[in-house]
Structure formats: structure tokens, C-alpha cells
């Protein structure tokens, strides 16, 4: 009886092992929990969350590009074809952010047929890093396919990303959130700089220049995990972009805020003004370095 039981258990063990081996392999070379941080870099979870909240949304750059009247172009987007090859949590998280920014761009232009590809890629990567529960693929796909309720599609996409980010923080996995945020940011900057390559616009130039602030915050977050070689390499890449921002100046003129109420809507007008000093040469260098770094990241 015991012998039979042992055979059953052994067979089950073999089957389980074979099944695991047959699945798409996910190397766990990057399961670095938050407890493993660089020495001397003790940042509380609250501080980490505050820093990450600072990073702008994946749809803001896309919204600006659209409002500037720039037509849609699929050439700016990262291809989803390699999604199955992304085998480490590092690559999966980073590309999840990149695809998230692309999804924001597609949603902004109502390109619902392409949206499905990106939702699918995001769902695959999110499942791999165990946050797939925040993406209701069926509903998102239905909304995209019907080409209706585009507001809902946008809301659910952005909300799902926010939910996922909160979950990662509350589960001691801020390291992955940092990568996702980096992916979102680099792709947003790439979109903006690619448009700037073809269109001269002061507002866009200013928005690109302002990214100096966000980049400093991002590097600060990533440095917490620089003990890991992949993080260290990513910081080096971002440092290349930071170098191009060295002489970009952001100045502020002080002013008192005004409050007006019109038709029952309260509006606050800020009279502090920030101004970015950035030359065409500096923009060109930021464009080429961003292109180089982003293309390297998507081909990791």
C-alpha cells in the first residue's frame, strides 16, 4: 500500500516537473525583493511611493502630441512581436511599462485594432510577474473590438496600471514598479523626441526639457537597487540621457495664485511660472541619445 502510494507520489512529482519544464521559462534571476537594497540607501516605503507618484502618467505625453495636431504614426511604437522572448522579470517589467506608454498613445488616437495587440502583450507580461489579475483582458478586448466606450477603454487601461503599481508597492515589490515606471517614462520621452525630430514646437521642446526633473527622480529610485547588475546597467543608460540634460536650465518666476469661480466651477490659476532654457542642439542630442537607449532597452 505504502509502495503504491510512493509510486503515485513519484509519478506526480515527475509529471509536475515535466510540466514546469515545458512552460515558457521565466528565469528568476531578478527576484530581488525590496529588502535587498544598496548599502546606505535606506528609503522608507512611504518615501518610495511618494517618489514614484511623482512620475507623470503614460498618457500625458501622448495627449500633448495629439493636441499639437501631430498625426498618428505606428513607427514610434515598440513591436509586441518579441513579447514571448522576454524571459526575465527585469525585461518583463521594463517592457510592460514601455507597452503601457504605447497603449496610452494608441488609446489617445483611438487605434483600437492595434490596441488589442498591446493589451495582449501587457496581459502576458503582467501574468508573468504575477499582476495579471489587474488586467481584464476579455473586457478590454471587447471594448477595443466594438470600437465603443473608448472613454471606458482609456479609464480601465490607466486604472489597471495604477492598481498594479499600488499592489506591487504594498507587496514589497517596488523594485518591479520602478522598472515599469522607467519603461513608461523612457517610451514617453521617446514618443516626444521622435515627434520633435520631425516637428518644431516650443511647447514640445519645453516638455522634453522638463523631463530633466523626472529623470533625476527616476535615477534616485533605481539607485536603491543598483546592487543588481541589470539595474546598474539601466542607471548607466539613463545617465547617458542625463548627461545631455546637464546644461538644460529650468527657472521659476514667482507669482500669487488666483482663484475664480465661473458657472459653478472653481478654477485655480497659478502665477508661478517655470521656464525651460533648451537649445536646438541640446534637443538634438537628447533625441539621439534617447533613441539609442530606448532601442537598446527594447532589444534586451
Partner 1 sequence: MKNIAVILLFFALSCPFSTRAQDISQLTAQCAANAGEVMYLKDFIVKLDAGTPGGAPPTARFALLLSKSVVYRLSICTAPNSEGEAVLQLFDMNTLLGSTFITATGKEFPFFDFKCQKTGVYHVFISFKEGKAGEGVGVLSYVKKL
Residue from the set 17, 53, 199, 200 that interacts with partner 1 by CB under 8 A: 53
Q: Which of 254, 213, 216, 256 is nearest to 235 (CA)?
A: 216
Element (H, E) at 5: helix 2-22
Judged by beta carbon, residue 113 or residue 162, the one nearer partner 1 is 162
Residue from the set 15, 273, 277, 279 that interacts with partner 1 by CB under 8 A: 273
What is the CA angle 238-241-38, rounded to 5? 25
Q: Does 31 bind partner 1 (CB under 8 A)?
A: no
Q: Does 158 bind partner 1 (CB under 8 A)?
A: yes
Residue from the set 29, 45, 67, 292 that interacts with partner 1 by CB under 8 A: 67
- Angular region, 175: left φ>0, alpha ψ -120 to 50, beta rest: alpha
Instruction: For residue 252, give the 3-state DSSP assignment.
Output: strand
Q: How many CB atoms lie within 10 A of CB 256?
A: 8
Judged by beta carbon, residue 79 or residue 270, the one nearer partner 1 is 270
> What distance in Å separates the CA atoms of residue 83 and residue 64, rounded to the nearest whole number?
28
Q: Does 154 bind partner 1 (CB under 8 A)?
A: yes
- How far apart are CB 253 and partner 1 at their closest, in Å? 9
Judged by beta carbon, residue 57 or residue 120, the one nearer partner 1 is 57
- Phi, psi values for residue 262, rounded to 5°: -130, 125
> What distance in Å separates the CA atoms of residue 21 and residue 147, rounded to the nearest whole number?
40
Residue from the set 15, 27, 155, 277 that interacts with partner 1 by CB under 8 A: 155
Beta carbons of 187 and 97 less than 8 angstroms apart: yes
Q: Which of these segments, 123-131, 152-160, 175-183, 237-245, binds partner 1 (CB under 8 A)?
A: 152-160
Q: Does 206 bind partner 1 (CB under 8 A)?
A: yes
Q: How many CB atoms lie within 10 A of CB 62?
A: 25
Q: Does 203 bind partner 1 (CB under 8 A)?
A: yes
How many residues of this chain interact with partner 1, rule: CB under 8 A?
A: 45
- Residues belonging to the chain: 300
Residue from the set 152, 216, 279, 295 that interacts with partner 1 by CB under 8 A: 152
- How far apart are CB 166 and partner 1 at their closest, in Å? 8
Q: Which of 193, 184, 160 is nearest to 100 (CA)?
A: 184
- Angular region, 148: left φ>0, alpha ψ -120 to 50, beta rest: beta
Binding to partner 1 by CB under 8 A, coded x per residue (else -) over 233-272, reads -----------------x-x----x-x-----xxxxxxxx
Residues at the interface with partner 1 (CB under 8 A): 50-51, 53-57, 59-60, 63-64, 67, 133, 136, 139, 149, 151-152, 154-156, 158-159, 162, 203, 206-207, 210, 213-214, 217, 250, 252, 257, 259, 265-274
Amino acid at each position: 500500500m505504502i509502495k503504491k502510494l510512493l509510486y503515485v507520489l513519484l509519478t506526480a512529482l515527475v509529471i509536475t516537473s515535466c510540466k514546469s519544464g515545458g512552460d515558457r521559462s521565466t528565469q528568476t534571476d531578478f527576484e530581488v525583493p525590496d529588502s535587498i537594497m544598496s548599502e546606505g540607501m535606506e528609503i522608507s516605503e512611504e518615501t518610495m511611493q511618494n517618489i514614484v507618484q511623482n512620475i507623470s502618467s503614460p498618457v500625458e505625453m501622448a495627449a500633448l502630441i495629439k493636441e499639437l495636431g501631430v498625426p498618428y504614426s505606428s513607427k514610434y511604437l515598440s513591436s509586441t512581436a518579441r513579447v514571448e522572448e522576454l524571459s526575465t522579470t527585469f525585461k518583463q517589467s521594463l517592457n510592460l511599462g514601455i507597452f503601457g506608454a504605447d497603449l496610452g498613445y494608441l488609446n489617445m488616437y483611438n487605434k483600437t485594432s492595434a490596441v488589442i495587440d498591446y493589451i495582449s502583450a501587457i496581459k502576458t507580461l503582467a501574468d508573468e510577474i504575477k499582476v495579471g489579475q489587474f488586467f481584464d483582458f476579455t473586457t478590454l478586448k471587447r471594448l477595443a473590438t466594438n470600437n465603443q466606450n473608448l472613454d471606458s477603454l482609456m479609464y480601465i487601461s490607466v486604472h489597471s496600471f495604477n492598481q498594479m503599481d499600488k499592489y506591487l508597492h504594498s507587496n514589497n515589490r517596488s523594485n518591479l514598479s520602478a522598472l515599469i515606471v522607467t519603461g513608461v517614462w523612457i517610451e514617453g520621452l521617446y514618443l516626444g523626441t521622435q515627434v520633435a525630430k520631425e516637428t518644431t514646437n516650443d511647447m514640445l521642446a519645453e516638455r522634453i526639457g522638463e523631463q530633466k526633473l523626472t529623470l533625476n527622480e527616476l535615477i534616485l529610485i533605481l539607485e536603491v537597487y543598483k546592487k543588481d547588475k541589470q539595474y546598474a546597467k539601466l542607471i548607466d543608460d539613463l545617465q547617458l540621457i542625463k548627461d545631455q540634460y546637464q546644461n538644460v536650465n529650468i527657472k521659476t518666476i514667482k507669482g500669487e495664485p488666483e482663484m475664480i469661480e465661473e458657472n459653478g466651477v472653481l478654477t485655480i490659476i497659478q502665477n508661478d511660472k517655470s521656464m525651460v532654457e533648451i537649445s536646438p542642439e541640446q534637443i538634438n542630442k537628447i533625441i539621439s541619445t534617447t533613441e539609442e537607449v530606448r532601442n537598446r532597452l527594447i532589444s534586451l
